[in-house]
Structure 1
Amino acid sequence: MAEKILAGMKMVEMKKAFEFLDKNGDGRLSSEEVLAFMESLGLNPTETEIADLIHNVDANEDGKIDFDEFTEMMKGMEKEDEDAELQKAFEVFDTNHDSSLSPDEVKALLKRLGIPPTDSQVKEVMKMVDTNKDGKISLEEFKAIMKS
């Protein structure tokens, strides 16, 4: 139930943001409104970049972003943020910087999380997460388990 409440609150926040950006109140964001918003963030996109952004989310192909398209765009941005955060976390645990987590690094990770693991527990984690069975956990394997 809490998840439904949080999802509803997030939708209300997105609706408020959309209405704020929709300066003329027509229920659709024009390229000018998107440009004004991006410039207010200190960005200086080209007309082509704005057109590409709109084209990528403009499901009904009317050249503008309606609320449904806006919410899909925001969900995509949240996913990108989540992926970036997971990559940062992975890099912290990848102490030898070889783009994978060894069993020793997994053991250290678990210790940092307050779980002093036994060797058999580390083996079990490796068995569960290392889907390609190469003896290491890749970034993609790490992301998959963290998102599940």
Structure 2
Amino acid sequence: MDVSALLALCQSEMAALDALQHTLEEEQRAILRFDAFQLEEMAHTKLRQLEELTAAREKRLALQTEAGLADSLHWQAWLLQAPAELRQQWQGMEKAIIRLKTLNEVNATLAQERMQFASEVLDSLRASSQAITGYGRHGNLSGTLSGSRRLGSA
């Protein structure tokens, strides 16, 4: 196997992982700020970065397949004999993937909590609005809530 080509592909994949981590960190800040516009922008950026990451991964896997190292067992055995720089790069990629999965899970949890909070606020505002619409312009009860009878006429 061409170790230098594999190393270059791993470095390219690692750069894509780093870019995605930066985007997920920005996404987390946008979630915390309730910044819907930036979240939409982040979604487009994440999609593009995931496509780039998939392309880099596919190139690396193609090289591994050419060398007969597509399955995990053969790959791990070969990797133990690979140059230290390549092993370190691989370990860095594995750690980056774990960080990305964790960060993505945290973002999903935060987004869910924020959506629930926003929903509760909207429900509260709707309830307040219903209570307020029962009063007329000068603070007295409007006719829609009291029916045809006037307040105090009973």
Of structures 1 and 2, the one with the larger relative CO (CA 8 A, separation 6+) is 2
* Structure having the higher Rg: 2
TM value normalised by structure 2: 0.28
TM value normalised by structure 1: 0.29
Q: Which has the higher helix share?
A: 2
